[in-house]
Structure 1
Amino acid sequence: MKKFIWAISLLLMLFAFSTSVFAFSAVTQDTYVLMRSETHQGDLAITGKRAVIEGTVEGDVYVFADSVQILGKVQGDVIAFAGDTLINGTVEGNVRAFTQRLTVNGTVGRNITVGSANLFIPDQANIKGSIYAFTDTVDLFGTVDKEFNGLVHNLRVTGTIGKGISALRAENIKIESSAVINGDLVYTSPQKALIEPGAKLAGQEKFTQYQPKEESRFNFPIISLLVSLLSTLLLWLIIRYLFPTALLRIQQGMDTNIGSQLGVGALLLIGAPLFAIVLMVTLVGIPVAIALALSLGLLLYVSKIFVGCWAGMRLARQFRWRLHPLAAELIGILGVYILLQVPFLGWVFAIAIWMIFLGSLAAVVRRANEAAR
C-alpha cells in the first residue's frame, strides 16, 4: 500500500484535469464488451465488474472495474482503476493504472504510469515510452524504448531498457544475463543490484545506499495521507447529505464573478486573524477571538470540499462528461486534494482555495441578508 498513494494521486489528477476533443460516452453495466467488429468514436468511460475492449476506441478509455482487458486498439489513453488489468492489444497513448496487477502483453505507444502490487511485462511487450512504476514486484521481460523509473520493492529485468534507469528506489534489483540497459543504472537501495554475467549495461552504475528502517511498516507517512484522504471523503459525504442546499448555493456563488470573490476572500483571510489578535488584547474579547479563530479554522478545513465539488461539476459541464453528480464531485475533491499535497505549491493552491471559498461564502451570506430584508 505504501507505494500506491503517489501513483493514485498522479492518476486521479490526470483523470480529473484531462481534456478531450471527442464526444464522451459513459457506460454502466456488469460486463461491457466492445466487439472486434465495432468502433467507438470518442472517449469511453466504463463502470462495472468486467470491461473488454476487442474492437477500436477512437479516443481515451476510462475504466472502473474488477477486471479490464484491452485486446483491440485504443487510439488514446487508458486510465484504469481495477483489480486486474490486461493489455494484449495496442494502446497508442499512455496507460495510467491503479490496479492490483497490470500485465502488458501488447504495445503501448507512449508511457506507463502504474500503482500496483504486480507489474508484468512479458517478452513480446513493447513500451515505446517510459515506465513509472510504484509497485511491489516488477518482472520486465519485454522492451521499454526509453526509461524505467519509480519506487518498487523487487525488480527483475530480463528484457531491454532503451535509455536506462535514472531515478529508481528499490530494495532488491536483479539484472539477469539476457538484459540490455542502453544507458545508466542510477538507483537507491539497501544493497547493490545483482547484475549477472552477460548482462549489458551501456552506461554507468550509480548506486546510493540507504538503510531500511526497522520500525513497523505501518509507521509511515503514507498512513497519515491515507487517513487524511478518507476523512476528507467522509466529511464530503456528511456535507453532501446533511447540507445539500448550502453546498449548492456556494457552488452557484463560485460560478458568478469569481474575480471579485477572490478579492473579498483575500480580505477575509487577512482581516479575520488580525481582528482576532486585536480582540485578544482585551479580556472581554478573548472568548470572541477564540470562537472566531475556531470558526475560521473550520471554514478553511472544509473549503477544499466545497471548492472540489464546484471544480468537479464545472469540469463535467465544460467537457460534457456524462457523470453522476456524485462522481463529478468526487473527481473534483480528489483533484483538489492532490494539488494540496504538491510540495511548496500546495500552499499556493491552499491560499487560492481559501480565498475562493471565503469570498463565495460571503457572497451567499450577503444575498441571503438582502433577501431577508
Structure 2
Amino acid sequence: MKRVCAWSRSVVVGFFVVSLCLWMGTGQSWAFQTRISDTVYVGSGKVLHGPYLFCGDSVRLDGEVDGDVFVIAQKVVVNGAVRGDFIGVANSVDINAPVAGDARVGAGEVTLRSAVGGSFTAAASSLYIEKNGRVGRDLVFAVNRFGLDGEVGRHVSATGETVYLDGKIGGNVRLSETSSLRLGKKAVIEGDLVYSGPSKAVLQQGAQVKGKQHWTRTEGKQRYRYEKYLDVISGFLSLILTWIVLRWLLPGVWEGLGSEIADKPGKSLLMGGLAFFTIPLLAITLMFSVIGVPLALILVFFYLLLIYLSKIIVATASGMAIGRYTGWQENIHPFWLFLLGLSLVQLLTMIPQIGWAFAVTVVWLGTGAAISKLFKPKQV
C-alpha cells in the first residue's frame, strides 16, 4: 500500500508541472486571475472569463468558466461547463460538466461523468469514467485502479495495477505493467490491444477487440522499475503545496528568504556549510546527557525541516533572479517564477555524476539563508 501511495503521488506532479510549464509558454499566464480561500465557490448561473487559478481546501464550480481552469485543492467538484482546458491537483476531483478542451488531473480519486472535448491525462490512485463520461480524443493515465463504462474517442495509453474496461474505445489500447486486466461484456476496442503484466487479460463473453491482441509477460518486480523516477516527481507536489500553504499563512516569507540568497549568496553558502557539519555534531553531543536528549531531537527535527525547505528557498531565489533578468516579475505571478525556479533546481540536481554537488549547494544555500534570516537583527 505504501508503494502504491508513493507511486500515485509521484505521477500527479509530473503531469501538473508539465502542463503548467507548457501553458506558461503560451503567454496566457501573464493575465490569469486567482481565487484563494478555504472554500472557493462559483454559483450557478455565473460566468467567469478565464484563465482562472483556484486554490483552497474545497473548490466547487457550479457556474461556467469561459477559459482555462487551474485548481489546487483538497476536493474539487466541477458542475459548470469549462470552455477551455482543465488542470487540477487535488485529493479528489469530480468532473460532472463538459470540458471543451483538454483535462490534466492529478489526484487521489478522479471521476468523470461528462464529456472532455480533447484529451484526458490523469495520475491518481483511482480513475473512473462513468457511463455518461466521454473523452473526445486520447486518454493517458497512471493509476492504481481504473474503470471505464463510458467512451474514449481515440487511443488509450496507460499504466494501471487494476484495469476494467466495459465501454467503447475508438482506437488502440496500450497498457504497461498491469496486474489485472478485465474486459466486460460491453467492452469494444476498435483497434489493437497491447499490454504487459504477469497474467493474460480476462475477456467476458461479448467483449470485442477488433484489432490484434499482444501480451508481454512480466515478473512482479519489473512492474515497479519506474518507481525511482516517480519518487523524484512526487517531491514536486509536496514542495509546491508547501510553498502555497506557507505563502498563504505567512505572506512574503519566501520572498524574504529568497532575498537573503540574492543579496548575500556567499554568506548564505558559508552559514549553510557550517550548519551542515556543526548541527549534527551538536545534536550528538547533547545525546550524551539525559536532559539534552529532548533538545537534540528538537534540533534534529528543525534541521531536517530546514533541509527540506532549502529547495523551495533556492527555487524562489532562482525564480526571482530570472524574473529580474527577464523583466517577467512585473507581469507574472510569483507562483510561476517559483515553479520555473523549482524546475531548474530539480533538473540541476538530477544531472548524472555532478547532480549531488548541486544538491549539496542547494541545501547549504537554503539552510544558510534561513539561519541568516532567523538571526538577522531587527531594524528599529
TM-score between both structures, scaled by the size of structure 1: 0.67
Query: Corresponding residue for 1:152?
Result: 160
Query: Corresponding residue for 1:191?
Result: 199
What aligned pairs does 1:78-93 form with structure 2 within 5 A after superposition? 78-93=86-101
Query: Corresponding residue for 1:225?
Result: 232
- Give secondary structure in 2 for the equivalent of 1:37: coil
Q: CA-to-partner distance for each residue in 1:252-276, whole Å, 9 max, x for gaps?
A: xxxxxxxxxxxxxxxxxxxxxxxxx
How many angstroms does 1:328 deviate by?
Answer: 3.4
In structure 2, C-alpha distance between the alignment counterparts of 1:308 and 1:199, rounded to whole Å: 52
In structure 2, C-alpha distance between the alignment counterparts of 1:164 and 1:126, rounded to whole Å: 16
Match of 1:2 among 4, 7, 10: 7
The structure-2 alpha-carbon separation of the partners of 1:21 and 1:332, relative to structure 1 and needing over 3 Å to count, comes to: closer
Query: Corresponding residue for 1:108?
Result: 116
The answer to whether the Cα contact below 8 Å between 2:258 and 2:317 also exists between their aligned partners in 1 is no
The answer to whether the Cα contact below 8 Å between 1:77 and 1:91 also exists between their aligned partners in 2 is yes
Q: CA-to-partner distance for each residue in 1:232-255, whole Å, 9 max, x for gaps?
A: 88xx999966562432688xxxxx
How many angstroms does 1:335 deviate by?
Answer: 3.0
Q: Which amino acid aligns with 2:228?
A: P
How many angstroms does 1:10 deviate by?
Answer: 2.6
Find out whether 1:247 has 2:262 as its counterpart. Answer: yes
The structure-2 alpha-carbon separation of the partners of 1:66 and 1:310, relative to structure 1 and needing over 3 Å to count, comes to: same
How many angstroms does 1:71 deviate by?
Answer: 0.8
Match of 1:71 among 76, 79, 94: 79
- Give secondary structure in 1 for the equivalent of 2:339: helix
The answer to whether the Cα contact below 8 Å between 2:54 and 2:71 also exists between their aligned partners in 1 is yes
In structure 2, C-alpha distance between the alignment counterparts of 1:202 and 1:341, rounded to whole Å: 47
In structure 2, C-alpha distance between the alignment counterparts of 1:97 and 1:159, rounded to whole Å: 21
Q: Which amino acid aligns with 1:125?
A: G
Give me the CA root mean square deviation.
3.9
| Number of equivalent positions | 293
In structure 1, C-alpha distance between the alignment counterparts of 2:204 and 2:151, rounded to whole Å: 19
Match of 2:21 among 3, 16, 20: 16
In structure 1, C-alpha distance between the alignment counterparts of 2:57 and 2:99, rounded to whole Å: 21
Percent identical residues: 23
The answer to whether the Cα contact below 8 Å between 2:160 and 2:177 also exists between their aligned partners in 1 is yes
Q: Which moved more, 1:23-32 or 1:105-114?
A: 23-32
How many angstroms does 1:114 deviate by?
Answer: 1.0
In structure 1, C-alpha distance between the alignment counterparts of 2:38 and 2:149, rounded to whole Å: 33
Q: Which amino acid aligns with 1:9?
A: G
The answer to whether the Cα contact below 8 Å between 1:20 and 1:319 also exists between their aligned partners in 2 is no
What aligned pairs does 1:28-47 form with structure 2 within 5 A after superposition? 28-47=36-55
The answer to whether the Cα contact below 8 Å between 2:255 and 2:317 also exists between their aligned partners in 1 is no
In structure 2, C-alpha distance between the alignment counterparts of 1:43 and 1:195, rounded to whole Å: 43
In structure 1, runs of 5+ residues without a counterpart are 251-301, 354-373
The structure-2 alpha-carbon separation of the partners of 1:223 and 1:180, relative to structure 1 and needing over 3 Å to count, comes to: closer
Q: CA-to-partner distance for each residue in 1:192-230, whole Å, 9 max, x for gaps?
A: 111112101110111111111299x89952476268769
The structure-2 alpha-carbon separation of the partners of 1:312 and 1:185, relative to structure 1 and needing over 3 Å to count, comes to: farther
In structure 1, C-alpha distance between the alignment counterparts of 2:238 and 2:35, rounded to whole Å: 29
The answer to whether the Cα contact below 8 Å between 1:185 and 1:204 also exists between their aligned partners in 2 is yes
How many angstroms does 1:33 deviate by?
Answer: 1.7
How many angstroms does 1:166 deviate by?
Answer: 2.9
The structure-2 alpha-carbon separation of the partners of 1:183 and 1:113, relative to structure 1 and needing over 3 Å to count, comes to: same
Match of 1:317 among 328, 349, 357: 328
